[in-house]
Amino acid sequence: MNRLLLPLLATSAFAADFPKPFNSEKGDPMSAEEAAATMQLPPGFKCVVFAAEPDVQQPIAMTWDAKGRLWVAENYTYAENPARWDTKLRDRIIILEDKDGDGKHDGRKVFWDQGAYLTSVEWGHSGAWILNDGTLSFIADKNGDDVPDAVPQILLDGFNTKTIGHNIVNGLRWGPDGWLYGRHGITDTSAVGAPGTPNEKRVKMNCAIWRYHPTRKVLETVAHGGTNSWGHDWNAEGELFMINTVIGHLWHVIPGAYYRRMFGTHLNPHVYEVIEQTADHFHWDTGAEKWSDIRNGISNKTLELGGGHAHVGMLIYQGGTWPKEYHGKMLTCNLHGRRINVDTLEREGCGYVGKHAPDFMQAKDPWFRGLDLITGPDGNVFVSDWSDSGECHDNDGVHRTSGRIYKIVYDGKDKGDSSKNNWQTRTALLKAYENASGPQPTALPALSAAESKDGLDRLRLASSMQRRELADRWPIATALAQHAEDANDRQQPLMIWYGIEPAVAADPMRGVELIASAKIPTVRRLVARRITEEIEKQPAAVEALVALLGKQPELQKDILDGMSAALNGWNKAPKPKGWDEVAKTLTADESQKSAQQLSTVFGGGRPMEELIPIIKDTEGDASARRNAFASLTRSAKPELLPLIRGLVNDKVIGTEARSALAAYDDPSIPKALLQPWPGRSLEQQTATVNTLISRPAYAHALLDTLKAGKVPASVISPYQARAIVSLKNEALTKRLTEVWGELRDTPEAKKAEMAKWTAALTPAALAKGEAPKGKMVFMAACAACHKLYGEGGMIGPDLTGGDRHKLTYLLENILDPSAIVPADYRMTVFKLKDGRTITGVIPEQNPKTVTVQTPAERLTLERGDITEQQQLSMSLMPEGLLTALGEEQVIHLMAYLQSLGPVQ
């Protein structure tokens, strides 16, 4: 076949195969032209329709390429609650072009249409970068023909899609440093890394801004906190800002910062205190309303303040074309208010403050749901519209067949200079990075920056501590903590703390020295807290703190507050040397109160009655609540069961509560753990299963829930399945086999074969393996059934995840593939009326048909054509594979299976 015809055939096949989107929401939006014509804008501005349905639908993200074409990610798999996602549909990327420059698209192409959970697209380095199906992937198009060169290359995986709805990873944007930036929401934690990276080496993120280097393949978390950011941008000075929802809309993103969270706690337990939002105002009535009240309608006060708590998309205007008054302004779409809010960014202290400015645009269309804002090549602004009558939670359905992209054009008398459009400078900067001629990484600021009169210089120095060796942080923290004028700054005291915290843990005696010299109370208090938390392991440093109390009375309040916070929730702690003598000298009322509390902990200890209120205080200090819970649950006390059972859904100690229930034998526990199932927390799911497999009655309840389809069978790992079998309950084991799969003991012959290959595949032998040769072996022997890095068949499990880095894991699954056979991969033999015998696994079935996946094809059989169907407790994977390959090929295969990324 002529190779020139292949792209055309592939494109038409994708189009024919693309599932037809459907609507689960009633009604229709205002027409795009009418919606544009009725937009309320300042004088000189107009709204035009750049593109609308059916040419663009569900536009969840957009970006430009260097040709000035708009790339749009269309997300159809997003669904209403409780499903949240519908993967029977697919997502796609389209390219829109305005060839004649009239402000409306006149060219459209489908670039790629195999997506699921697609939330973002960014163009650069001769390809499209996408967030898709829990991965950061790259679709190469080196010749620029708008046809993918190959299937997407998975660069990072592990972004949570199982328990996350609209908090899913999103927001790819190139930064001025050449890194690719993204965002992650609050509802659960992701463990992210290159495919095959062991879990312990993955980057854990929950509610964060992150970045990835396109050539060095490095992933970093930039900052933590917020709720669910769906917008970020850089100002002219290269400072990053993000938009947020509910708890504040505008945040200056300082590398290494920890911001307020809507709920739950940061992954780092030693953060203690967090930075509040950069804006000095809210866009909703925080004094009289709950954030969720807006679902019942927008109050007049909230309309006056800005339209509501939910913000999506963000742009700091630097396009040149609009009047000067807009340059540097922050624009964001207000979801419920159907408008664009504006903030003025001003310097304040060591950072910035966002001041309220008049709203920029108001939509008359009740279905307007602005999602993204982006400056175009001519300096005007493009706004994407999800076009839906619901909100981000979509409890009322999804309207998939609508979507618009509007262009906000200024053509007034005081039009700016479009040559100063940052679209041009950013495009040129990205090209320079692609050619390896971009700016070199900025050096870490010198210690002399601590003496700068510009607070932003001092903030950058504080931020840089987290990129330095621990020993190098002390002189910086000491110098910055001398600035008493920064004591009440929103961010600086805490940035000093975040940078020095691990150094204090490593060398607490130097922490005592820092307290003695610091002029910032927050630094003194938090360092004292961190030192005191280690009272059982490093008592000498706490004794030095106590001695400092007697020597420098002006430090007493900060030290005592820090010590009290550290031991809040403890029922008893060892008394430091010299405490009694120093406590007698404390005279101030506040000091005496803290001293009395500490003396109780250092003496007979707190009674249970004092710890319970600490645990119940959902707004209280997270560390104190955890400490109190740990103190109370060291042994199972019957009277505590109602308390623990009532905490299983707690945002802070829900996981600990679920684990603690394993110590109790009570028929109410399975229901408390399973109704409702903790669908948005993998940690709580694991704790739940571990508790429920601890007793036969609990395990029965778990398996009954699986049988009813209320919980997926995948929540039970092979290890946990073996634990159920170990309960030695025949009925339970039978139930496990029915709803989960079968476990067979590895026979002695298999154990001997395991020992043989373990002895042969030594580290020295494996070091000789060549991954490219191993890939050839894989494609010949394994790829018919298994995928690795997106290549291979679908009959067996995808091998991209898992514990491939462990030799024992690989050998156990290859040498005895039928030892663990999950229900979804058990082999079934079909005999048909036409005399054929088909063997495969069943990925789908309904009352009329059965879908069978064989190593060669996917078939749909009419049930009436099947004369006999037998499911075997066997894997389709053949035994004896390694013996057939021989030692040399096995070594190469292992090199490929244990590789940390795609192999060419």
Q: What is the pLDDT of residues 528-585, one digit of tens each?
A: 999 999 999 999 999 999 999 989 989 999 999 999 999 999 999 999 999 999 988 8
In the predicted structure, residue 823 carries a pLDDT above the cut 50? yes
Q: What is the dihedral of CA 22, 25, 26, 31, to 10 degrees?
A: -80
d(CA 87, CA 75): 11
Q: Which of 130, 131, 157, 132 is nearest to 141 (CA)?
A: 130
In the predicted structure, residue 11 carries a pLDDT above the cut 50? no
Enter the pTM of the model: 0.79
- Say if residues 699 and 732 touch (Cβ distance below 8 Å): yes
> Tokens at residue 693, please?
């497999």
Question: What is the per-residue pLDDT for 473?
Answer: 98
Per-residue pLDDT band at 874 (split at 50, 70, 90): low
**Residue showing tokens 């499911």:** 871
Per-residue pLDDT band at 166 (split at 50, 70, 90): confident
Per-residue pLDDT band at 822 (split at 50, 70, 90): low
d(CA 434, CA 215): 9
Handedness of CA 188, 194, 198, 203 (dihedral sign): negative
Per-residue pLDDT band at 854 (split at 50, 70, 90): low
Termini Cα distance of the chain? 25
Domain parsing of the chain, residue ranges = 3-429, 454-616, 650-743, 762-897
Q: Which of 109, 107, 108 is nearest to 8 (CA)?
A: 109
What's the angle, vertex CA 253, arms to CA 249 and CA 259, rounded to 5? 65
In the predicted structure, residue 861 carries a pLDDT above the cut 70? yes
Q: Which of 334, 333, 338, 389 is nearest to 363 (CA)?
A: 338
Of all residues in the chain, the percent with pLDDT exceeding 90 is 64
Q: Which of 552, 174, 194 is nearest to 374 (CA)?
A: 174
Question: What is the per-residue pLDDT for 3?
Answer: 29
Bridge partners of 788?
A: 791
d(CA 843, CA 854): 10
230-279 tens-digit pLDDT? 999 999 999 999 999 999 999 999 999 999 999 888 999 999 999 999 99
> Which residue type does 401 have?
T
d(CA 621, CA 165): 28
Number of C-alpha atoms within 13 angstroms, CB side, residue 67? Answer: 14
Question: What is the per-residue pLDDT for 754?
Answer: 85
Per-residue pLDDT band at 406 (split at 50, 70, 90): very high
Classify burial at 391, counting beta carbons within 10 Å of its beta carbon; exposed 0-12, middle 13-18, buried 19 or more: middle
Question: What is the per-residue pLDDT for 744?
Answer: 61
Q: Which of 614, 610, 615, 609 is nearest to 596 (CA)?
A: 610
Question: What is the per-residue pLDDT for 12?
Answer: 34
d(CA 715, CA 699): 13
Question: What is the per-residue pLDDT for 595?
Answer: 86
Per-residue pLDDT band at 883 (split at 50, 70, 90): confident
- Over range 74-82, report the average pLDDT: 89
Show the 3-state SS of 441-456. Answer: CCCCCCHHHHHCCCHH
Per-residue pLDDT band at 835 (split at 50, 70, 90): low
Handedness of CA 584, 586, 592, 597 (dihedral sign): negative
Residue partners of 268: CB distance under 8 A and separation at least 6 = 224, 258
In the predicted structure, residue 7 carries a pLDDT above the cut 60? no
d(CA 32, CA 27): 15
d(CA 530, CA 504): 7
d(CA 378, CA 763): 59
d(CA 691, CA 695): 8
H helices present in 38-77, as ranges? none
Per-residue pLDDT band at 719 (split at 50, 70, 90): low
> Which residue type does 36 have?
A
d(CA 744, CA 819): 5
- Over range 615-643, report the average pLDDT: 90
Give, to the nearest 10 degrees, the angle between helix 589-602 and helix 556-567. 40
The neighbour count for residue 16, using CB atoms within 10 Å, is 7
> Which residue type does 9 have?
L
| Mean pLDDT, rounded, of the chain | 90
Question: What is the per-residue pLDDT for 643?
Answer: 95
In the predicted structure, residue 837 carries a pLDDT above the cut 70? no
762-897: in CATH 2.30.30.100: yes
Show the 3-state SS of 138-206. Answer: EEECCCCCCCCCCCCEEEEECCCCCCCCCCCCEEEEECCCCCEEEEECCCCCEEEECCCCCHHHCEEEC
Rg of the chain (C-alpha set): 30
Q: What is the DSSP letter of 361?
A: E
- Say if residues 365 and 389 touch (Cβ distance below 8 Å): no
Question: What is the per-residue pLDDT for 752?
Answer: 83
More confident residue, 480 or 694: 480
More confident residue, 805 or 472: 472
> Tokens at residue 618, please?
């959902």
The neighbour count for residue 3, using CB atoms within 10 Å, is 6
Q: Which of 865, 822, 819, 826 is nearest to 842 (CA)?
A: 826
Of all residues in the chain, the percent with pLDDT exceeding 70 is 93
What is the DSSP annotation of 362-404?
E---TT--EEEEEE-TTS-EEEEE---SS-TT-SS---TT--E
In the predicted structure, residue 880 carries a pLDDT above the cut 90? no
Task: Please state which CATH number belongs to domain 3-429.
Answer: 2.120.10.30
Q: Is 323 left (phi over 0), alpha (psi -120 to 50) or beta?
A: beta
* 3-state SS, residue 341: strand
Bridge partners of 844?
A: 851
The neighbour count for residue 620, using CB atoms within 10 Å, is 16
Give, to the nearest 10 degrees, the angle between helix 887-897 and helix 807-815. 120
Per-residue pLDDT band at 635 (split at 50, 70, 90): confident
